[in-house]
Amino acid sequence: MPKVVIDGIEIEVPPGTTILNAAQRVGVEIPVFCYHPYLKPAGICRMCLVEVEGMPRLLPACITEVQDGWEIYTNSDRVKDAREWLLEFVLVNHPLECPICDEAGECELQNFVFKFGEPRKRLYDEPFKYPTRYLGPLIVHQMNRCVLCRRCVRFSDEAMGGTDWGVYERGYRTIVGPYERDVFAQKYTFNMEALCPVGAITSNIYRYKTRIWKLDFTNSVCAHCEVGCWLDLGERDGQLLKVLHRRGYPSPWICDKGGYGFEYVNHSERITVPLRREGNRLRGVTTDEALEFVAGRLKGLVESGGKVAALVSPHLTCEDYLLMGSFMKEVVGSDYLDYRLYGGNTYPERPAVDSLEGVEKAEAYLVVGEDLSVHHPVLALSVAKGCKEGRASLYLIVTGDSFLFKFAAEHANPLPGKEEKVLEALASVLGGKDYASLLEGTEVSEDTLKAMAQGLQEKKPLIIGGSRLTPEGRVLLKGVGERLGITPLFLDWGSNSKGAFQMGFWSPGGESVEDILNKCVSGEIKGLFVSSMDLFRDYPNGTLVKEALSNLDFLVVHDMFFTETVAYSDCYLPATSFAEDGGTVVNMFWEAKKRNRAFKPKDESMPLWQVALGLSRKWGRPLGDFGTVEDVTPLVRERLSQVVEAPSTLGGVKAAHLKGDIPALFEYPFYRAGMRTDFCNAFVQLVPEPYVTLNPEYGDELGFKNGDIVIMEVDGNQFRMKLFFRDEVPRGGAIVSRGFSDFPITRALKGLWYRGIELRAAKE
């Protein structure tokens, strides 16, 4: 173990430790630009130069490994001079626009100049000027401010596996940025902005709105997916203006949905007062009136023998599920409640790994049935990490994967709806059975499957079952897992499915959402409570939803916006966003996390648990005396420790709705997945309308061109949209985007996300 002395403090460090890390251990500060704990050291910026006794030159602390007996000085005159000169050189072309720059206040250059620099400028020449580049609605790049630390480029290379973000030109003309794109939105763009030590990359959403020191940051958990990244919500005057990811946990990186997908909180179209139907109009009423009205109508329905059901978004907190569940089951006496509004008929299952570190440690991965980078983006980064470093190999059975395929050792890209067939074939391969017949019509070659089976048997894989899997698919995957001796990690839609399941927010009879909606159509269920979800946008059967909602006697919708579901409602209750109320959420590893309230609910908005409480009071059977969400949390904790058995869901809907010419997968584009992303202006700008994607070769065969406008026909319904060519789409299939509350694309679906479609060119 080498022993070193840093500024007179002696320390023994393991071999291979850099000077910087050793200094951090003894608490000596060395300024750095290019060093970042989660990126590989680069030694570019020269900010961290230190003096070592006996060395003729100063050494960069971030890449120099210590040797035994070194005496290191971080504060000698030579080091101080070096820092001053370096900062002066950096400032030669750096514009003095701190008053304008959004980074001011958290800018590392600003801090270092204050701490180590000299307040002087000796070059009185015009600084070299670059134009500001507006790279789409997410980020703005201002090369003037860049200190050339290349953190963004290294992130792009190391974590994202390479994008066209790079370094071009030389010397003082060096340019960092995308080479060919004008819009840079690559799912993890937020990290580049966060990594930038200066204001070269800044958020376009937060651009110039307010200063960082005016924001109050509250720790919370992201509401878009199950990974449950910690976020710091920057609030000012009841507006959520900026999100930071300061904890670096569970992963150092977050996705753009977490970083930028919060605009709906401050959306101007948000309705924050209760509305009640009067004829053809919805009129504003007080909360008290609305709750009284809802409780009265529900009570009337129950007393006259009708059934009442509740369908609640899987993005809410455990407290919401617990109290709403108690209200439905104990007060209303209903057996119909569900949270699986994205469709599908599976319940959460306990995973084999307990953290993202566990995922990163695996030697191989088998991912089936989900584009991880869309629905669990940070998990996708963790999976990619090992593969990028060459430690692990990745096997994909995913239709149209848009990110992980770059890292895959073997990528089975079956036609839409055939993922489970390929999975069955894989199981057969592993079992030594005949599988050739199973692969018919899947567009997956036998070689791929063979190589995949071989790879899986060589290394112990982590099996990840995506949210698209049906109950039968899960059984198959479990079979594969058993053969390899592994429990799979099953993923679900929504950010708190595990919590909803654990709180018992599902029908005891095992009815799926489809069953409930069918019961609405048949008239058995007369009243429905929908919370925080536009059924028309997310439930994959728009026709059924329409029929069910128009057949109801009474529909209450608890939401933030006037969605199409609200248009059918008899009463609208305003909901809070995730920033306006605390609570407990359970992430994909069944880890309970606490969300904190960043600011108070806007106007009359109420979280679901308060609605349930208010309704129970108006009903005459109060659920209890809870003042804040913290009063409910102990009950949630108690429930979380219990073991909950899920009912069997096998034998439900089958993937058999494939008619028509082209099998199509209806998948969310990344910037449309997650909670209320269609009310985030930046995301709407990025993906303004639905589109169809085809494999270029297949598109050529069909006689289309990239960018054509086509008519998609399903069941006689015609949808007019744009067509794009993407390499990741399997030949012979199509991928149609969904997740648009203002475009009735779910009408084309029948309970699953596969559907045969017909495409033809639109006549102008």
Partner 1 sequence: MVGPLLKGLRVTFGHLFKPAITVKYPYEKRPVAERYRGRHVLKLDEDGREKCCACGLCEAVCPAGAITLYGAEDPEFKRSDVGKIAEVYEIDYSRCIFCGYCVDACPRGAIIMTTDYELTVPGPGRGHLYKDKNWLFEKRGGE
In the Cβ-directed half-sphere of 547, how many Cα atoms lie within 13 Å?
Answer: 15
Question: Which member of 54, 119, 169, 213 binds partner 1 (CB under 8 A)?
Answer: 213
SS3 89: helix
Determine, following the binding rule CB under 8 A, whether residue 760 of this chain makes contact with partner 1: no
Report how far residue 502's alpha carbon sits from residue 526's, in angstroms, rounded to the nearest whole number. Answer: 27
By beta-carbon proximity to partner 1, the closer residue of 99 and 305 is 99
Report in angstroms how near the CB of residue 208 gets to partner 1 at its nearest.
Answer: 4
Cα 680 to Cα 70, 158, 686, distances in angstroms: 54, 29, 10
Report in angstroms how near the CB of residue 108 gets to partner 1 at its nearest.
Answer: 19
DSSP output for 115-160: HH--S-----SPPP---EEEETTTEEEEGGG-----HHHHHHHHTS
SS3 520: helix
Determine, following the binding rule CB under 8 A, whether residue 97 of this chain makes contact with partner 1: yes
Torsion sign, CA atoms 36, 141, 266, 563? negative
Question: Which member of 11, 26, 98, 709 binds partner 1 (CB under 8 A)?
Answer: 98
Residue from 159, 183, 128 nearest 36 by CA? 159
Report in angstroms how near the CB of residue 194 gets to partner 1 at its nearest.
Answer: 20
CB under 8 A: which stretch of 67-75, 96-104, 452-460, 732-740 binds partner 1? 96-104
Report how far residue 365's alpha carbon sits from residue 760's, in angstroms, rounded to the nearest whole number. Answer: 39
Report in angstroms how near the CB of residue 133 gets to partner 1 at its nearest.
Answer: 12
By beta-carbon proximity to partner 1, the closer residue of 57 and 211 is 211
Task: Report yes or no: 721 and 753 within 8 Å, Cβ to Cβ.
Answer: no
Report how far residue 109's alpha carbon sits from residue 90's, in angstroms, rounded to the nearest whole number. Answer: 9
CB under 8 A: which stretch of 10-18, 32-40, 204-212, 411-419 binds partner 1? 204-212
By beta-carbon proximity to partner 1, the closer residue of 104 and 709 is 104
SS3 480: helix
User: Which class for 66: exposed (0-12), middle (13-18), buried (19 or more C-beta within 10 A)?
Assistant: buried
Report in angstroms how near the CB of residue 261 gets to partner 1 at its nearest.
Answer: 21
Encode 483-515 in three state secondary structure: HHCCCCEECCCCCCHHHHHHCCCCCCCCCCHHH
Whether omega for the bond prior to residue 540 falls within 30 degrees of 0, making it cis, is no
CB under 8 A: which stretch of 97-105, 149-157, 286-294, 605-613 binds partner 1? 97-105
By beta-carbon proximity to partner 1, the closer residue of 206 and 405 is 206
Report in angstroms how near the CB of residue 178 gets to partner 1 at its nearest.
Answer: 19
By beta-carbon proximity to partner 1, the closer residue of 216 and 389 is 216
Report in angstroms how near the CB of residue 102 gets to partner 1 at its nearest.
Answer: 9
Report how far residue 651's alpha carbon sits from residue 207's, in angstroms, rounded to the nearest whole number. Answer: 52
Residue from 667, 676, 740 nearest 374 by CA? 667
Report in angstroms how near the CB of residue 135 gets to partner 1 at its nearest.
Answer: 14
Residue with tokens 């994205």: 342
By beta-carbon proximity to partner 1, the closer residue of 92 and 100 is 100
Give first-to-last CA distance, the chain, whole Å.
76
Binding mask 46-85 for partner 1 (x = CB under 8 A): ----------------------------------------
Report how far residue 410's alpha carbon sits from residue 46's, in angstroms, rounded to the nearest whole number. Answer: 41
By beta-carbon proximity to partner 1, the closer residue of 202 and 413 is 202
CB under 8 A: which stretch of 205-213, 318-326, 553-561, 745-753 binds partner 1? 205-213
Site for partner 1 in 222-241 (CB under 8 A): 237
Site for partner 1 in 105-134 (CB under 8 A): 132, 134
What burial letters (b/e) apply to 379-409, b meaning 16+ CB within 10 Å? bbbbbbbbbbeeebbbbbbbbbbbbbbbbbb
Question: Which member of 40, 121, 129, 214 binds partner 1 (CB under 8 A)?
Answer: 214
Residue from 267, 762, 363 nearest 562 by CA? 267
- Residue 317, Cα to own-chain centre: how many angstroms? 17
CB under 8 A: which stretch of 99-107, 167-175, 269-277, 727-735 binds partner 1? 99-107
Task: Report yes or no: 706 and 692 within 8 Å, Cβ to Cβ.
Answer: no
| Phi then psi dihedrals of residue 128, to 5 deg | -70, 130
Site for partner 1 in 233-292 (CB under 8 A): 237
CB under 8 A: which stretch of 210-218, 256-264, 539-547, 665-673 binds partner 1? 210-218
Question: Which member of 100, 436, 646, 650 binds partner 1 (CB under 8 A)?
Answer: 100
By beta-carbon proximity to partner 1, the closer residue of 24 and 266 is 266
In the Cβ-directed half-sphere of 653, how many Cα atoms lie within 13 Å?
Answer: 23
Report in angstroms how near the CB of residue 52 gets to partner 1 at its nearest.
Answer: 41
Report in angstroms how near the CB of residue 98 gets to partner 1 at its nearest.
Answer: 8
Question: Which member of 76, 111, 210, 272 binds partner 1 (CB under 8 A)?
Answer: 210
- Residues in the interface with partner 1 (CB under 8 A) total 15
By beta-carbon proximity to partner 1, the closer residue of 97 and 701 is 97
Site for partner 1 in 503-522 (CB under 8 A): none
Report in angstroms how near the CB of residue 501 gets to partner 1 at its nearest.
Answer: 42
- H or E element that contains 566: helix 564-567
Site for partner 1 in 599-628 (CB under 8 A): none
Report in angstroms how near the CB of residue 105 gets to partner 1 at its nearest.
Answer: 9
DSSP output for 388-436: HHTS-EEEEE-TT-SSGGGT-SEEE-PPTT-HHHHHHHHHHHHHT---G
By beta-carbon proximity to partner 1, the closer residue of 26 and 104 is 104
* Residues shown for the chain: 764
Determine, following the binding rule CB under 8 A, whether residue 209 of this chain makes contact with partner 1: yes
Report in angstroms how near the CB of residue 107 gets to partner 1 at its nearest.
Answer: 13
Binding mask 151-190 for partner 1 (x = CB under 8 A): ----------------------------------------
By beta-carbon proximity to partner 1, the closer residue of 104 and 273 is 104
Report in angstroms how near the CB of residue 218 gets to partner 1 at its nearest.
Answer: 20
By beta-carbon proximity to partner 1, the closer residue of 102 and 443 is 102
By beta-carbon proximity to partner 1, the closer residue of 96 and 567 is 96
Report in angstroms how near the CB of residue 602 gets to partner 1 at its nearest.
Answer: 17
Residues near 688 by beta carbon (within 8 Å), at least 6 away in sequence: none
- H or E element that contains 113: helix 108-116
Question: Which member of 104, 484, 521, 709 binds partner 1 (CB under 8 A)?
Answer: 104
CB under 8 A: which stretch of 91-99, 263-271, 555-563, 673-681 binds partner 1? 91-99
Determine, following the binding rule CB under 8 A, whether residue 644 of this chain makes contact with partner 1: no
Determine, following the binding rule CB under 8 A, whether residue 211 of this chain makes contact with partner 1: yes
By beta-carbon proximity to partner 1, the closer residue of 124 and 213 is 213
Report how far residue 21's alpha carbon sits from residue 60's, in angstroms, rounded to the nearest whole number. Answer: 12
Report how far residue 257's alpha carbon sits from residue 186's, in angstroms, rounded to the nearest whole number. Answer: 11
**At CA 385, angle to CA 379 and CA 391, rounded to 5?**
125
By beta-carbon proximity to partner 1, the closer residue of 101 and 368 is 101
By beta-carbon proximity to partner 1, the closer residue of 212 and 521 is 212
Residues near 168 by beta carbon (within 8 Å), at least 6 away in sequence: 174, 175, 176, 177, 179
Return residues touching partner 1 (CB under 8 A): 97-100, 104, 132, 134, 207-211, 213-214, 237
